[in-house]
Amino acid sequence: MSTYTEDQRKVTTHRLSEMKARGEKIAMLTAYDFSMAKLIDEAGMDVILVGDSASNVMAGNITTLPITLDQMIYHAKSVVKGVKRALVVVDLPFGSYQGNSKEALASAIRIMKESHAEAVKMEGGAEIRESIERVLCAGIPVMGHLGLTPQSINKFGTYAVRAKEEAEAEKLVADAKLLEEIGCFALVLEKIPAQLATFEADEFPSARVACRRSSHTGISFRSVSGIYKICGPAEKVSALKISHSCPYTPPLKIKDFFHQRTRILPVCCKMYFPPPFYALV
């Protein structure tokens, strides 16, 4: 049984806002099944994302595009059953919300009703504004996602860092402002320059910002599949045993988590260092 004893109240979007206001670091990991979700939750993670990267990690597909809404609901239901404390967020899969806002709302409602998750995540900015607003109007919390959006990989043609050029960086900032204004409770910034991530965190204090490449934002987001890719089989077991049996504060929750707290993954701490491992999530 986990010995993690910090605040065990259920994490909600409101509690995340309070944590952000207090300057607390917020930790988020992915999970796709009951067993991993239970371990992560008992280890003290604040947010668990049921990522559409289940398409890659669980089904062996090359991209996230093939996974269906039914499959995402299956994974989400499994995760929710293993979670007592963390906020569970579920990716809306490719093709389930881009077509029109009515389809987006229907997809989000199915996830909430059938999986009992607590929020959805949607990739994109101004181009999907209508869909996000419609989902929000139904009382469903939405986490935004900008930067490298894996559902657009065929447009990008590469998993390289995004928003390095001025025009793309300006659009990202504009989209971030838009998502905050319309009511997204959090924002994932994937594979963008560290300076831009820091600017986003400072510029939008009311938005909960997550970034896989920087410790300068409110939420730090890492991928369980990334841990698996870096660690060998024995190291996986060691990491899970330690996170499941030793008292600790999750390393992602402090400003300098790169160096100071690595007990959750003592043999895997290199995953937090550049160069980024990216990480289909």
| 68 vs 120: CA distance, rounded Å | 15
Active site residue 118: no
Q: Are 236 and 220 in contact (CB under 8 A)?
A: no
| 98 vs 52: CA distance, rounded Å | 15
190, 200, 203, 235: which is the annotated catalytic residue?
Answer: 190
| 103 vs 17: CA distance, rounded Å | 29
Q: Are 90 and 120 in contact (CB under 8 A)?
A: yes
User: Rounded to an integer, what is the distance from CA 51 to the centroid of its chain?
Assistant: 7
| 43 vs 261: CA distance, rounded Å | 14
Q: Around Cβ 260, how many Cβ atoms within 10 Å?
A: 10
User: Rounded to an integer, what is the distance from CA 162 to the centroid of its chain?
Assistant: 18
Nearest to 123 by CA among 149, 160, 97: 149
Q: What are phi and psi of 62, to 5 degrees?
A: -75, -35
Q: Are 44 and 250 in contact (CB under 8 A)?
A: yes
Q: Around Cβ 272, how many Cβ atoms within 10 Å?
A: 20
Any idea which residues carry the catalytic annotation?
190
